[in-house]
Amino acid sequence: MRQSLAFVLLLLALPAVAQIYKYTDANGNTAYSNQPPNGTKAEPVDLPPLNSVDTVAPPPAPPSASQNQSQTQQNTAAYQVLELTDLPQGEALRANNGTFTVGVAIQPRLQAGHLLQLIVDGTPYGQPTNVPRLQAVDLDRGEHSLAVQVLQGAQSIQQSQTTTLTVQRVHVGKP
């Protein structure tokens, strides 16, 4: 076992040494060394040359014109339907604590890498998500404009039409 381990270690070190010698030690064991021992008959070990392959990564193929065009079309009009749903039409939304959920109708399905961002009064609201249900929390009473954006990274790809909504909340009448 010890001899096999020594042999394997020597084989691993072969690229760093010029010659390997094989000999029999005083106990009768076969041993290998990179230097011939003094006073012992040693034979050089001839090993076949090591195989090596130079790895060169192929350059990336340039995108074709049709791929560039389809990517541009996908980014400019990725979705045929993008709109907010589950909102009252022509009446106020009663949300006593200012919290409510809106749905997003999107066709085709949200693509990988795209996220939905709720826009309230012209500014992003909450965290972008891939779930087509968005929640507004603790919105003040009064009129608000809502929309949804599709984001790819930090870039806005598409935005829905803006919907105006009046939020009704309970007035506590604090002094």
Spatial distance between the Cα atoms of 72 and 4, rounded to a whole number of angstroms: 62
> Do 80 and 25 belong to one domain?
no
Task: Please compute the mean of the pLDDT values over residues 66-71 and round it to a whole number.
Answer: 53
Q: Does any domain span residue 38?
A: yes
Task: Please compute the mean of the pLDDT values over residues 24-38 and round it to a whole number.
Answer: 84
More confident residue, 9 or 118: 118
Amino acid identity, position 151: L
Q: Does any domain span residue 65?
A: no
* Percentage of the residues of the chain whose pLDDT score is greater than 90: 37
More confident residue, 41 or 135: 135
Task: Please compute the mean of the pLDDT values over residues 48-65 and round it to a whole number.
Answer: 74
CB 118 within 8 A of CB 125: yes
**pLDDT at residue 162, rounded to an integer:** 92
Task: Please compute the mean of the pLDDT values over residues 38-48 and round it to a whole number.
Answer: 82
Q: Does any domain span residue 67?
A: no
Q: Does any domain span residue 146?
A: yes
Task: Work out how many domains the chain is built from and give that number.
Answer: 2
Q: Does any domain span residue 52?
A: no
More confident residue, 59 or 165: 165
Q: Does any domain span residue 132?
A: yes
Task: Please compute the mean of the pLDDT values over residues 45-58 and round it to a whole number.
Answer: 77
Spatial distance between the Cα atoms of 159 and 161, rounded to a whole number of angstroms: 7
For the record, the structure tokens of 14 come out as 């072969």
**pLDDT at residue 132, rounded to an integer:** 93
> Do 138 and 94 belong to one domain?
yes
**pLDDT at residue 17, rounded to an integer:** 46
Residue 156 has pLDDT above 60, yes or no: yes
| Ranges 1-10, 33-42, 95-104, most confident | 95-104
Q: What is the mean pLDDT of the chain?
A: 82
User: In terms of Cα–Cα distance, which of 91, 87, 74, 78 is closest to 162?
Assistant: 87
CB 7 within 8 A of CB 30: no
Residue 39 DSSP code: T
Range of the domain at 21: 2-45
Task: Please compute the mean of the pLDDT values over residues 75-104 and round it to a whole number.
Answer: 85
Q: Does any domain span residue 158?
A: yes
CB 162 within 8 A of CB 145: yes
**pLDDT at residue 34, rounded to an integer:** 84
More confident residue, 100 or 38: 100
DSSP element (H, E) containing 76: helix 65-76
